[in-house]
Structure 1
Amino acid sequence: MPELTLGDRIGQIRRRRSMTQEELAERAGISADVIRKLEQNRRTTAAIRTLHAIARALEVETSELLKQGVDLDNEDNGDAARLLELRRILTPSLAEIQSAEEPPTNDKLRADVLAATRAYQNARYRNALGHIAVLLSGAEAAASARADDYETRRIVTYAYITAARTLIQLRREDLGYEAVRRSLTFAEKAGDEVLYATCGDAMNWILIRQARFYEAEQTATKLASVIEPRISSRDGARFGTWGRLQIQASTAAARNNRPTQAAEYLSLARTAAARVDGGQMSLEPYQQMFSQDIVSAIEVESALVAGEPDRALGLVESLQIQRWEWGSTWERHLLTVAEAQVANKNYADANQTIMEVREQSSEWLVNQRLARRLVRDLLDSRGVRWARNTGLADLASEMKIAV
């Protein structure tokens, strides 16, 4: 059965109440045009106060309208009903704590992790959330039924890492933090210190987003010290994970106005990248990417953070960073380039760079705070006609930014 939209659900309940659209609008105290647009799916979101009014008029609980896939307006901080199932799993109420379902096999659980991870890597976050809600429910059941099984612990760890990364991208740090915490617990039980450090990788991005730069730097260096590889080691995954932690420490230090330390961490990251086979970390077994190009991209970002957009753009040209095909790392680099271009008042170039990101990953772009800020800066710097002719006005509308 196809998933109901918000408008489908309102229309369904309205008809069961034998009410016309005009009667529902009058009882709810809102415009009949709003009801029509919702039911015709010409409007797909609604403010929470509007939903409350409609629910009261229909004599149902508001949650009856909030089925999976129904969004709330951005004024409600971009929250979405599709997160309700994840909230019930990650932050359950006493009423929602219940006996586990039939646990999936490790093969089934592994396949579910792969499906969710692929959706995340391709920046299809709505699709990923659909997989993750089912995945975590099965992971909890499997962990309970096979508490001593090493492979189950590892797969459950991956499930929570993927959930955390997706939630962080959607700016849901509260849920992401809980997912990271659970992943750390299972990684520790699995006895895999590199896997544990991989979980900490996600934790650090939350700290950086919260401007807890010193804590992020210290966490990254602490985890790196635990898994520091021997010079003679050929363990590419260990070198890659260690190198990623150095990048995080560098990013945090740069944002905390510690340029000397940031440069030292980047130097260590370059050393690690040189020890990874082929210059690029394999995506297995820890589902992470690390390479010399990524270190170079962070160097560009550090120059920009230091207030040197000219040097940042010069590095882009001199380093000749190649496009990579995993996750949103490349798109993030392009946003950094656009930020430097805006800082140098190269507005046309910045707009072109942002449009390249939009073409590659529109869903990722609209969830980025930096992207929203850059679009606002461009709108403030150029005229409305220019914004319309370049596609910026359309993007601003998609982001719900007034032109």
Structure 2
Amino acid sequence: MSDELAQNLRRYRRAKGLSQEQLAHRASLSVGPIRKIEQGDDGVRMETLHAIARALGVKTSDLMAAGTPEPVKHDDPNSLNLRELRIALTPVISLAPVAAPVGEEPDLRRLRRMTRDNNVLYFEDSYKSIAADLPALIRAANEAVAYYGSGEEQAQALVARSQALQLAGKYLTQIRQYDLAHGAIREAIADAKAAGDHLVAASAVGGMCWMLMRTDRFDEAEDVAVATMDLIEPKISGATPDQYATWGGLAMEAAAAAARNNRPNEAKELRKATKTAAAAVGASHKNLLRHWSMFGPVTASMKALEDYMLAGDARAVVRKAEEEENLQEKSWKRIGGPSTNDGNRFRLDLARARVRTGDPSAAMEELAHLDAIAPEWFRHQGSAAITFEEIAKKRRTLTAEMREVGAHLGVFA
């Protein structure tokens, strides 16, 4: 996107009457990144674009544009590693009639149990096990839907497949296989809608929003989350914890997208909606519709810290992490803790904040801890690599532990 990005940045900068130096000052950047972007360098980090968009008073998406894709590496291991899952998710289609399914009646209870067990593996950071199990799970779900032509059993099969596809989409998003993830989540939404289960469909929309944000599609992520929130908004009385948790989860996704797109006022209002849902739940709720994730006051507080990081206020992140009651582990006995993934993300945000407030040693402790407790999750986090690079720049030499963490992240400092 280098040429169009350069043109967009130059156009918005000149419309504001700013020199490159003046824009860099407003964005709290050195002038180097501004010059590189306008010269066509496409190696810009997303957080740099966030800062520039804030300084210009435009949405981050206004700066971005499509460009010529880079050639795909011939030795891409994922083309082979994901072969069986790709076959399961993208079956061939022909003009020949599809034969009616034969064999024994599918065991829907076993199918749901397989999905549950693999969700547990996902949150336990066992990605290799999930990769091995997912093809069989998706095939079993497809067979169940094909077997039941109508009735309640078909609706149950569609919901079961939706949940299996949501797990596949979540896993594929985590390992940055976004096109496959999009297809899986899109089908998950369609299955849940066909079954008439709007909450399961809304849960899948939450997964879609996360995937959209990972691919910098902020406008769409916010729009689809807000539109779905309107459709499933809990009634004042009689709403279940799952309903509040699903609605609140969508509010979190919408707020995150708005914050990343330099829409702070909208993000603030959506964070209020998240807190409303969290207060209604009262304590951390294991939301089965969102794949055994947790939602509650702790989750809402942790996700709100992301907005401060995006705004460049690392000191606020450190201060709130140390002072806000919901973020203290001693409070979690009373109100419940976060999911494993949310807790890990919180520690990663805190590491980034600590290095940017002049405490690289504390930041490195957080990274080393994450590398030890969730190595598979950790190695797929781009922000962890960025944080490590920032730590390395502040040191003359690296310890053996630091080199090991850097090697795991694919950083060669």
Normalised-by-shorter TM-score class? 0.7 to 0.9
Which AA in structure 2 matches 1:394?
E
Identity %: 26
Q: Distance in 2 between matches of 1:168 and 1:194?
A: 21
**Offset, 1:212:** 1.1
Which AA in structure 1 matches 2:365?
Q
For the 8 Å contact 2:294–2:339, the answer to whether it is kept is yes
- The correspondence of residues 154-169 of structure 1 with structure 2, limited to 5 A, is 154-169=159-174
**Unmatched segments (≥5 aa) in structure 2:** 1-72, 330-336
Deviates more, 1:230-239 or 1:176-185: 230-239
Q: Find the counterpart in structure 2 of residue 206 from structure 1.
A: 211
Q: Find the counterpart in structure 2 of residue 281 from structure 1.
A: 285
Tell me which of 177, 188, 202 is aligned to 1:197.
202
Q: In the TM superposition, what whole-angstrom CA distance separates every residue of 1:263-294 from its partner, at most 9, and x where no partner exists?
A: 11111110111111x42223334423211111
Q: Find the counterpart in structure 1 of residue 379 from structure 2.
A: 366
Q: In the TM superposition, what whole-angstrom CA distance separates every residue of 1:200-248 from its partner, at most 9, and x where no partner exists?
A: 0000011111111111111110010000011113311111110011111
**Offset, 1:146:** 1.2
Which AA in structure 1 matches 2:240?
D
For the 8 Å contact 1:147–1:153, the answer to whether it is kept is no
When normalised by structure 1's length, the TM-score is: 0.76
Q: Distance in 2 between matches of 1:106 and 1:370?
A: 39
For the 8 Å contact 1:249–1:262, the answer to whether it is kept is yes
**Offset, 1:158:** 0.9
Which AA in structure 2 matches 1:175?
L
State the SS of the aligned residue for 2:106: coil
Q: Find the counterpart in structure 2 of residue 121 from structure 1.
A: 123
State the SS of the aligned residue for 2:316: helix
For the 8 Å contact 2:218–2:260, the answer to whether it is kept is yes
**Offset, 1:164:** 0.8
When normalised by structure 2's length, the TM-score is: 0.74
* Greater RCO structure (CA 8 Å; 6+ sep): 2
Residue 75 to residue 333, structure 1, CA distance change in 2 (3 Å): farther
Deviates more, 1:117-126 or 1:321-330: 321-330
Q: Find the counterpart in structure 2 of residue 334 from structure 1.
A: 347
Residue 153 to residue 119, structure 1, CA distance change in 2 (3 Å): same
State the SS of the aligned residue for 2:399: helix
Is it true that 1:248 corresponds to 2:253 in the alignment?
A: yes
Q: Find the counterpart in structure 2 of residue 83 from structure 1.
A: 82
Q: Distance in 2 between matches of 1:162 and 1:203?
A: 12
Q: Distance in 2 between matches of 1:285 and 1:252?
A: 22
Q: Distance in 1 between matches of 2:74 and 2:359?
A: 32
Q: In the TM superposition, what whole-angstrom CA distance separates every residue of 1:114-158 from its partner, at most 9, and x where no partner exists?
A: 221111121211111111111001111111111422221211111
**Offset, 1:342:** 2.0
For the 8 Å contact 1:208–1:216, the answer to whether it is kept is yes
Q: Distance in 2 between matches of 1:383 and 1:79?
A: 36
**Offset, 1:250:** 0.8
Q: Distance in 2 between matches of 1:254 and 1:296?
A: 15
For the 8 Å contact 2:121–2:130, the answer to whether it is kept is yes
Residue 233 to residue 111, structure 1, CA distance change in 2 (3 Å): same
Q: Distance in 2 between matches of 1:193 and 1:268?
A: 20
Q: Find the counterpart in structure 1 of residue 236 from structure 2.
A: 231
Q: Find the counterpart in structure 2 of residue 178 from structure 1.
A: 183
Q: Distance in 1 between matches of 2:346 and 2:135?
A: 30
**Offset, 1:346:** 1.4
Is it true that 1:301 corresponds to 2:309 in the alignment?
A: no
- The correspondence of residues 84-163 of structure 1 with structure 2, limited to 5 A, is 84-93=83-92, 102=103, 104-148=106-150, 149=153, 150-163=155-168
Q: Distance in 1 between matches of 2:149 and 2:386?
A: 46
Q: Distance in 1 between matches of 2:393 and 2:286?
A: 43
**Offset, 1:374:** 1.5
For the 8 Å contact 2:106–2:147, the answer to whether it is kept is no
State the SS of the aligned residue for 1:229: coil
Q: Distance in 2 between matches of 1:325 and 1:267?
A: 19
Q: Find the counterpart in structure 2 of residue 11 from structure 1.
A: none
State the SS of the aligned residue for 2:319: helix
Q: Distance in 2 between matches of 1:181 and 1:94?
A: 18
Residue 108 to residue 254, structure 1, CA distance change in 2 (3 Å): same
**Offset, 1:108:** 2.1
Q: Distance in 2 between matches of 1:338 and 1:147?
A: 52
Q: In the TM superposition, what whole-angstrom CA distance separates every residue of 1:175-202 from its partner, at most 9, and x where no partner exists?
A: 1111101101110111011111000000
Deviates more, 1:103-112 or 1:291-300: 103-112
For the 8 Å contact 2:119–2:167, the answer to whether it is kept is yes
Q: Find the counterpart in structure 2 of residue 398 from structure 1.
A: 408
Q: Distance in 2 between matches of 1:346 and 1:306?
A: 19
Residue 395 to residue 286, structure 1, CA distance change in 2 (3 Å): closer
For the 8 Å contact 1:122–1:328, the answer to whether it is kept is no
Q: Find the counterpart in structure 1 of residue 399 from structure 2.
A: 388
